[in-house]
């Protein structure tokens, strides 16, 4: 069975050496001293390694079952969920007013990676709840917040997001679920929603469904969509639970992975719902959840790659097969361990350099979210908005690829369910699809985010890279060659792609949109390149200043050098593809495929 | 449920327009007139679309079961297998002497793609039999051939390959299965083999296991390995079946995919075996099967990509979601079909240009095999030997990626087992692993095949590309720009990588081996680039000469242009990675990962 070990040392490095969180002026960050974050991460690490990770394959094998309209989670989930709640983990970064601990998102994200890495399907129950609570927090009335949030923050009640219908996912304007206004100000919701993660289960007393629906008589299409709070069980005035609402589970979907999470077809039959936010502004309210969810999904890509990498590394060290080409390394054994072989190394280095770079990227993103929310930093808000589709799309695409690479290290054993490596790939696969398929992320990036606020945020990004390069060049020849030069080249490629879109996108939007996927990937590479350059610089400086643990910083530098030399140059290929234009992509008439 | 339609028109184009098989002097090729191959492919197409394809998801859902030592295949497999046997498909390219039809491998491969594309797990039963029969054909005595082949060619008896043991897969020198010589010239085989595809089932009266084992007292390691014929049921002198042999199924493995195939743990307890080929030359004999199997596995990569693409294309045409950025295309509907969106197009074009290029590559490879076997063409033999790891490694890596892309077109529906897209990826995944994991293919290519016969075959490959370029340049400006120039650039990249290996590989073999995976991929791209250039040239010429079906050739050209502009330039990235050397890959001590 796979193991999961919390990468706390690496997280501490990013939080304190790189992001220097406790020195930040963002409100709440002064609490994030190394001892404190270390204690939190160690505690979360214990829970996730010892309790959640062993349930990961149980959830995969057993799945959820629907019996007489009730959904049952796999054996052990209920007890583990109780432990998570008792530990106060579900409200870590939620307001104290509603029972949370008000920790910054940067710490919430680090802890979130541990939960997701140890058991993604399990963690989705609380993850969806967090998203739904955030939407209520952002758009609810005070009365709604008081009514719903305390139990959601504690996960006594969990939450869901209901967008997709059988005939529409991305294009929600086609939605058919309807909401009929009632005299008491509530609505009657009727329709069918599919792919509802954590849609029903036996771990909470109530489930708070956030449901998109069209108010009868409202505008056509996406402009007529509103968001509703639809509880599974009605809540009385005194807060006690009343009768069942008209929300029921039609079936549980059979999926490729995340079997431990109940993905439901939800039927709403005259279910009572309460408008959340304004009439016909449901998409805006939902996007509060979606943006948070997209960062969380990006983290799932990272977390599955990390978990798979840890196990691939163990296997590569344990499994004896063949001899090193440069001479026997394990003379007392019948063969050398896999890790001596250069192609296995290449794969492991690809995995390692990705997960460490991605972790820095996500925690940096979370810090910007904190800046936006806690300090009202508009620039941070704009930048993280620009980078959200990159975090979601790039990290889940590449994270998935990395789980496939980790599985490959096991050879035939990787294909057998017994070893658990298949589950990482099957679970990671969904992250490329949900919360907006990655093609939609690329479209959001190129079609919307690039030009947002007059292109201000993408310019700010390039300025940031330029400033980093300027501030850190010419001090260390090796650092210049290994980090600065590759970053400069990659950033130049990205700018050239942006320029190409500007020059040709107006006359032929297909030129830009045909290159959107490539652009998202090259943007992701530049972000990881920037993270590696930052981590590399910190390591160079720390080694120069003297440290008790030089090996850690030397390893960082070596890993960064690999990324800069072998992975970052992908930007040139993406640029070539983009600059080849949209004509070859769009040449065929649909009937000639 | 997914559909499967035999791509017979494309196969006819490759066989007749591109490879011009019936004009070849290879013995047996004169029979391959268009009418004849068309009739064969149409017939195979009917069987595979109507009978095998509908069983594909049945096999996935039901899997195989072991009860009281007996393995049962999924519902319908037995009847379908009977139909395949009745049709004579199992002996299509086997010698007439043993009941086959002696057709060339080029036709066998085309038919094989249809079988594999419609139902990979099912087709493996006959595929393994074909491989085992080929090994007996190549290494057996006349008596052995007479005893075993007729029933194997007809698939009354099926075959298996037994290499892997729990502690060794790639490094077979560590093998423990032993063979004790008996007075009657037979051996007693004892040991455990794992991952035995088609290891046992209920569709044949007997199973002929080819088992690698060490003769007691023989040399250590790989030099002491011999190959044995070990039947499930003993065969009497008169050919009738006798008692059960000491070969039994320990368990059926639970796998990520190919559930319809029984992957068995096989236990041999004093089982009677007959030496096949020479003592201690088992690896050589097994490689007869392995090389054939590797081409077959490369084809599995293509076939799953083709099947997944067909369905992704259907979905992209059917599913209405969003509107084309360049203006509404389906004004009467609530939305436009997915296929109007540039990023969906990009994905479909990647899939289409891969499967058509890969098909040409494999059929060209099969033609070289025919040249080697039927005409004794040593150059063809050397070239196809060089390209075997490329066909296996590149086509399965990329084929798998393409199934993931096809699945992505479906959005959330791609993740639900009901739609069948998950199965294509799960089934295709094994092809990257078995018959030598792709890392081993890359090692074989760079560490062995490149230098084989003094590098003669790789030089011949480059000469072939150069000759093509020379013979076809300067006649058509557009063709030069769209096809010749990209091919020239990619071929130059490949040569530069080979040169880098030669210059640095001697002093530091890690430089070459760290780049082996990149080299295999760039070689694959150059091969597909060459195929597209050849197909493009034929299309240009056909259009110039006039044709009833200009759309077909124009579509070919457009698809080829896409490959040359967007996919082939990947060689430059691979070259950059290779030329960055092995140091960043090998920098870390194993303990510092």
**Residue A351 placed within a domain:** no
Separation in Å, CA of B523 to nearest CA in chain A = 17
Are the beta carbons of B585 and A345 separated by less than 8 Å?
yes
A507-559 pLDDT, tens digit each: 889 999 999 999 999 999 999 999 999 999 999 999 999 999 999 999 999 99
Alpha-carbon dihedral angle through residues B139, B145, B150, B151, given to the nearest 10 degrees? -80
* Distance of alpha carbon A78 from alpha carbon A333, whole angstroms: 45
Are the beta carbons of A337 and B412 separated by less than 8 Å?
no
**Contacting residues of B for A255, CB less than 8 Å apart:** 415-417, 422
What integer pLDDT is reported at residue A285 of this predicted model?
Answer: 84
**Contacting residues of B for A317, CB less than 8 Å apart:** 590, 593
Contact A438, A301 (CB under 8 A): no
Q: Does B219 touch chain A (CB under 8 A)?
A: no
User: Between A and B, how many residue pairs show a Cβ–Cβ distance under 8 A?
Assistant: 254
What integer pLDDT is reported at residue B574 of this predicted model?
Answer: 98
- Which residue shows structure tokens 């083999």? B193
Residue range(s) defining the domain that contains residue A466: 456-585
Are the beta carbons of A321 and B171 separated by less than 8 Å?
yes
**Residue A506 placed within a domain:** yes
B435-445 pLDDT, tens digit each: 999 999 999 99
Q: Does B344 touch chain A (CB under 8 A)?
A: yes
Are the beta carbons of B516 and A573 separated by less than 8 Å?
no
**Residue B78 placed within a domain:** no
Q: Residue A102 pLDDT > 90, yes or no? A: yes
Q: Residue A170 pLDDT > 90, yes or no? A: no
**Contacting residues of A for B556, CB less than 8 Å apart:** none
DSSP-assigned letter for residue A48: I
**Residue A480 placed within a domain:** yes
**Residue A442 placed within a domain:** no
Q: Does B333 touch chain A (CB under 8 A)?
A: no
Distances (CA, A) of B119 to A417, A572, B11, B124: 21, 39, 19, 9
Of A256, A313, A577, the CB nearest to B415: A256
What integer pLDDT is reported at residue B505 of this predicted model?
Answer: 80
Mean pLDDT for B186-198 is 98
A435 is catalytic: yes
**Residue A548 placed within a domain:** yes
For β-strands A263-276 and A225-231, DSSP reports them as antiparallel
- Which tokens hold the place of A532? 């590696």
**Contacting residues of A for B400, CB less than 8 Å apart:** 404
B534-567 pLDDT, tens digit each: 999 999 999 999 999 999 999 999 999 999 999 9
Mean pLDDT for B119-132 is 97
Q: Does B339 touch chain A (CB under 8 A)?
A: yes
Task: Give me chain A's average pLDDT, please.
Answer: 96
Q: Does A429 touch chain B (CB under 8 A)?
A: yes
Go through B195-230 and write b for each residue having 16 or more CB atoms within 10 A of its CB, e for each that does not: bbbbbbbebbebbbbbbbbbbeebeeebebbbbbbb
| Confidence band, pLDDT 50/70/90 cuts, at residue A235 | very high
Q: B79, B417, B435, B477: which one is catalytic?
A: B435
Q: B436: left (phi > 0), else alpha (psi -120 to 50), else beta?
A: left
Considering only residues 236 to 295 of chain A, which have any Cβ-Cβ distance to chain B shorter than 8 Å?
A: 253-257
A392-448 pLDDT, tens digit each: 999 999 999 999 999 999 999 999 999 999 999 999 999 999 999 999 999 999 999
Q: For B74, phi and psi rounded to 5 degrees?
A: -60, 160
B384-431 pLDDT, tens digit each: 999 999 999 999 999 999 999 999 999 999 999 999 999 999 999 999
**Contacting residues of B for A570, CB less than 8 Å apart:** 573
Considering only residues 74 to 133 of chain B, which have any Cβ-Cβ distance to chain A shorter than 8 Å?
A: none
Number of domains in chain B: 1
Report the percentage of chain A scoring pLDDT > 70. 100
A36-81 pLDDT, tens digit each: 999 999 999 999 999 999 999 999 999 999 999 999 999 999 999 9
* Distance of alpha carbon B522 from alpha carbon B511, whole angstroms: 16
**Residue B511 placed within a domain:** yes
Are the beta carbons of B562 and A322 separated by less than 8 Å?
no
Task: Count other Cβ atoms within 10 Å, centred on residue A248.
Answer: 16
Are the beta carbons of A584 and B562 separated by less than 8 Å?
yes
Separation in Å, CA of A195 to nearest CA in chain B = 7
A279-329 pLDDT, tens digit each: 999 988 888 777 778 999 999 999 999 999 999 999 999 999 999 999 999
Q: Which residue of B has its CA nearest to A410?
A: B433
Distances (CA, A) of B153 to B28, B208, B259: 19, 12, 25
Q: A306, A435, A477, A554: which one is catalytic?
A: A435
Q: Residue A91 pLDDT > 80, yes or no? A: yes
Are the beta carbons of A321 and B168 separated by less than 8 Å?
yes
Q: Residue B231 pLDDT > 80, yes or no? A: yes
**Residue B53 placed within a domain:** no
Q: Does B572 touch chain A (CB under 8 A)?
A: yes
Q: Does A221 touch chain B (CB under 8 A)?
A: no
Are the beta carbons of B339 and A416 separated by less than 8 Å?
no
Are the beta carbons of A340 and B590 separated by less than 8 Å?
yes
**Contacting residues of A for B392, CB less than 8 Å apart:** none
Q: For A254, phi and psi rounded to 5 degrees?
A: -90, 115
Are the beta carbons of B412 and A433 separated by less than 8 Å?
yes
Are the beta carbons of A343 and B513 separated by less than 8 Å?
yes
A103-148 pLDDT, tens digit each: 999 999 999 999 999 999 999 999 999 999 999 999 999 999 999 9
Of B404, B432, B566, the CB nearest to A577: B566
Residues 6+ apart with CB under 8 A from A485: none
For β-strands B247-252 and B264-276, DSSP reports them as antiparallel
| Element (DSSP H or E) covering residue A233 | strand A233-235
Are the beta carbons of A340 and B164 separated by less than 8 Å?
no
What is the reported pTM? Answer: 0.98
**Contacting residues of B for A414, CB less than 8 Å apart:** 433
Closest listed residue to residue B360, CA positions, set B114, B119, B13: B13
ipTM, two decimals: 0.97
**Contacting residues of B for A443, CB less than 8 Å apart:** 341, 343
Separation in Å, CA of B339 to nearest CA in chain A = 7
Closest listed residue to residue B203, CA positions, set B394, B49, B75, B69: B75
Angle value at C-alpha A409, between A404 and A415, nearest 5 degrees: 65
Separation of first and last alpha carbons in chain A? 45
Considering only residues 161 to 200 of chain A, which have any Cβ-Cβ distance to chain B shorter than 8 Å?
A: 164, 167-171, 173-174, 194-195
Considering only residues 514 to 543 of chain B, which have any Cβ-Cβ distance to chain A shorter than 8 Å?
A: 514, 516-517
Q: Does B579 touch chain A (CB under 8 A)?
A: no
A343-402 pLDDT, tens digit each: 999 999 999 999 999 999 999 999 999 999 999 999 999 999 999 999 999 999 999 999
Q: Which residue of A has its CA nearest to B519?
A: A343
Q: Does A324 touch chain B (CB under 8 A)?
A: no
Q: Does A153 touch chain B (CB under 8 A)?
A: no
Task: Specify which residues A268 forms β-bridges with.
Answer: A191, A247
What integer pLDDT is reported at residue A55 of this predicted model?
Answer: 98
Separation in Å, CA of B569 to nearest CA in chain A = 7
**Contacting residues of B for A572, CB less than 8 Å apart:** 572-573, 576
Q: Kindly write down the DSSP assignment for every residue of A289-340, as one continuous string.
A: HHHHHHHHHHHHHHHHHHHHHHHHHHHHHH-B-S--TTS-S-TTSSS-BGGG
Report the percentage of chain B scoring pLDDT > 90. 96
């Amino acid at each position: 069975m796979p193991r999961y070990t919390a990468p706390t040392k690496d997280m501490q490095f990013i939080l304190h050496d790189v992001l220097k969180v406790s020195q930040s002026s963002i409100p709440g960050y002064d609490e994030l001293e190394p001892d404190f974050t270390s204690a939190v991460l160690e505690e979360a690490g214990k829970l996730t390694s010892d309790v959640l990770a062993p349930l990961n394959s149980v959830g995969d094998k057993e799945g959820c079952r629907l019996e007489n309209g009730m959904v049952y989670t796999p054996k052990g989930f209920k007890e583990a969920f109780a432990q998570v709640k008792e530990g106060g983990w579900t409200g870590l970064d939620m307001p104290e007013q509603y029972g949370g601990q008000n920790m910054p998102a940067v710490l919430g994200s680090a802890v979130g990676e541990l939960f997701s890495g140890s058991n993604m399907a399990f963690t989705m129950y609380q993850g969806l709840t967090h998203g739904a609570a955030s939407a209520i927090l952002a758009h609810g009335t005070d009365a709604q917040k008081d009514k719903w949030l305390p139990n959601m923050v504690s996960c006594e009640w969990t939450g869901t997001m209901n967008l997709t219908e059988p005939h529409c996912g991305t294009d929600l304007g086609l939605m058919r679920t309807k909401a009929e206004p009632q005299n008491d100000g509530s609505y009657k919701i009727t329709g069918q929603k599919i792919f509802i993660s954590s849609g029903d289960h036996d771990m909470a007393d109530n489930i708070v469904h956030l449901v998109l629906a069209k108010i009868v008589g409202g505008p056509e299409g996406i402009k007529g969509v509103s968001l509703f709070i639809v509880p599974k069980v009605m809540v009385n005035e005194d807060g006690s639970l009343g009768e069942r609402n008209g929300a029921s589970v039609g079936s549980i979907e059979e999926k490729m992975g995340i079997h431990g999470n109940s993905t439901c077809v939800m039927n709403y039959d005259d279910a009572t719902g309460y408008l959340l936010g304004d009439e016909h502004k449901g998409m805006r309210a939902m996007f509060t959840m979606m943006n948070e969810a997209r960062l969380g999904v990006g983290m799932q890509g990272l977390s599955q790659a990390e978990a798979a990498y840890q196990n691939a590394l163990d296997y590569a060290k344990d499994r004896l097969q063949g001899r090193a080409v440069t001479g026997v390394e394990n003379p007392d054994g019948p063969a050398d361990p896999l890790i001596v072989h250069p192609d296995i190394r290449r794969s492991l280095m690809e995995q390692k350099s990705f997960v460490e770079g991605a972790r820095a990227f996500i925690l940096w993103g979370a810090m910007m979210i904190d800046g936006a929310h806690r300090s009202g930093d508009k620039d941070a808000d704009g930048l993280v908005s620009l980078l959200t589709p990159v975090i979601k799309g790039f990290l889940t695409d590449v994270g998935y690829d990395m789980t496939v690479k980790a599985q490959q290290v096991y050879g035939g054993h990787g294909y057998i369910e017994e070893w658990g490596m298949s589950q990482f790939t099957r679970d990671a696969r969904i992250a490329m699809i949900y919360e907006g398929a990655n093609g939609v992320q690329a479209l959001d990036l190129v079609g919307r985010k690039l030009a947002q606020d007059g292109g201000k945020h993408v310019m700010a990004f390039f300025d940031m890279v330029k400033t980093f390069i300027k501030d850190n060049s010419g001090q260390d020849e090796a650092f210049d060659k290994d980090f600065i030069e590759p970053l400069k080249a990659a950033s130049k490629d990205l700018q050239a792609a942006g320029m190409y879109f500007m020059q040709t996108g107006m006359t032929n939007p297909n030129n830009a949109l045909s290159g959107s996927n490539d652009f998202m990937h090259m943007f992701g590479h530049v972000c990881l390149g920037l993270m590696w350059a930052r981590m590399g610089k910190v390591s160079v400086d720390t080694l120069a200043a003297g440290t008790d643990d030089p090996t850690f910083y030397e390893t960082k530098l070596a890993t960064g050098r690999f990324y800069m030399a072998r992975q970052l140059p992908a930007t040139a290929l993406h640029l070539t593809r983009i600059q080849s234009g949209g004509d070859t992509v769009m040449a065929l008439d649909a009937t000639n495929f």
